[in-house]
Amino acid sequence: MVPPESLFGFIPTWVGVYVLMALAFGLAGYILYRRVVRLILLGKPADRLDQPLRRSIGAIPLVFGQKKVLQRVSLRKDMAGIGHFVIFWAFISFTLSYVIFIFGDSAWRPFSSTLLTDAGVKAFAVYLDILAVLLLVVLFLAAVRRWVARPSRLRFDLTQKPEAAIILVLIGLLMAFTLLGEAFYVAAGGQGPEAAALVGPAIGRWLQGTGISAGVANGLHGFFWWAHLGVILGFAIYIPLSKHMHIVAAPASFYMRSLEPMGTLSTPGDLETAERFGASSCWTATPAPSAAAAPIAARPTSAARCCRPCTSSKT
């Protein structure tokens, strides 16, 4: 993921990267606020940031260990959870690589080698290459499972929306552009620890053997690098518009889960003088005690389920 020299031959790479990033993340943040945060804020305030150590320890196996996803895995009947686990950790790994090799190196070229050392960059590049190939295989198997050998729970209309196909295509493009960017970087004569990866550089050396010119290879390296960035930013905008908002919402939901025993209900301090009991409107609703069982995007608060009729007046 070595950055090209410039955008369109005259715009410094770091300027193009950070301007596009600001626009894309700003739009994604606005969409997230309109679709999720605004609805959550309709509810009654609840302290879900207390006891940070307990919350963090409890969220680790749920988020990084994918405990909810893996609890129903069967090596004979259903291994979808393993595929989801691979996709999740690929997401974490490549997100870290984008921070280092795209946003970091575009601003200061020695950033990655200073942070990781040359040996670390080489090891990380090899790991990402292997992961990209593994993820392409997982995506292929996921597509076959969803649209060819469909289990009964994937035959409902709700599971056949185009969102799943869009996400699979976007992830596949990210992996393909990763390998092609490396390939054309090496084909153009690129050197350094990034060129020591396995798959992309191997393709690049094969391209050199076909007689591709350094100029053409350099141009294609720049094209795939910027296309890669475009898919990343497009992904960021699309996530809050789709069911895959759980990528962002689920970790937050697990962290801000209720720490009370399941089924615990809040009671007024003074039953004789209380004006209302329970949640009669959006403004008296609080997050459900079982919020950890589903992403915020799926059911953030009781307010989200009644926001339309409640936003006209405060009853």
Q: What's the pLDDT at 281? A: 62
d(CA 288, CA 84): 26
Helix, strand or coil for residue 132?
Answer: helix
Q: Taking the CA atoms of 142, 144, 147 and 148 in sequence, report the sign of the dihedral they define.
A: negative
Q: What's the pLDDT at 82? A: 86
Please list, in sequence order, all residues whose beta carbon lies within 8 angstroms of the beta carbon of residue 256, skipping any fewer than 6 positions away: 48, 49, 55, 287, 291, 296
For residue 5, what are the CA distances in angstroms to 207, 268, 305? 22, 64, 50
Domain ranges of the chain: 6-259+280-310
Q: What is the pTM of this model?
A: 0.79
Is residue 290 very low, low, confident or very high in pLDDT (cuts 50, 70, 90)? very low
Mean pLDDT estimate for the chain: 83
Q: Which amino acid is at 153?
A: R
Q: Say if residue 75 is exposed, middle or buried (CB neighbours under 10 Å; 0-12, 13-18, 19+).
A: exposed
pLDDT in tens, 218-247: 999 999 999 999 999 999 999 998 888 888
Q: Residue 124 in contact with residue 97, Cβ under 8 Å? A: yes
Q: Provide the CA 198 distance to its chain's centre, in angstroms.
A: 25
Q: What's the pLDDT at 300? A: 41
Provide the 8-state DSSP code for 44.
Answer: P
Q: Measure CA of the first residue to CA of the last residue in the chain; give whole Å.
A: 56
In the block, residue with structure tokens 């995007």:
297
**Token couple for 140:** 């292929």
Is residue 301 very low, low, confident or very high in pLDDT (cuts 50, 70, 90)? very low
**Token couple for 240:** 């809050």
Q: Residue 298 in contact with residue 36, Cβ under 8 Å? A: no
Q: What's the pLDDT at 155? A: 67
Q: What's the pLDDT at 57? A: 93
Provide the 8-state DSSP code for 110.
Answer: T
Does the pLDDT value for residue 53 go beyond 80? Answer: yes
Helix, strand or coil for residue 79?
Answer: coil
Q: Is the pLDDT higher at 120 or at 253?
A: 120
Please give the average per-residue pLDDT across 109-136, as a whole number.
Answer: 94
Q: Which residues pair with 6 in a beta bridge?
A: 12
Please give the average per-residue pLDDT across 81-98, as a whole number.
Answer: 90
pLDDT in tens, 5-47: 888 888 999 999 999 999 999 999 999 999 988 888 887 777 8
Is residue 274 very low, low, confident or very high in pLDDT (cuts 50, 70, 90)? low
Helix, strand or coil for residue 91?
Answer: helix
E-assigned strands of the chain?
Answer: 6-7, 11-12
d(CA 68, CA 138): 20
d(CA 30, CA 44): 22
Q: Residue 292 in contact with residue 55, Cβ under 8 Å? A: no
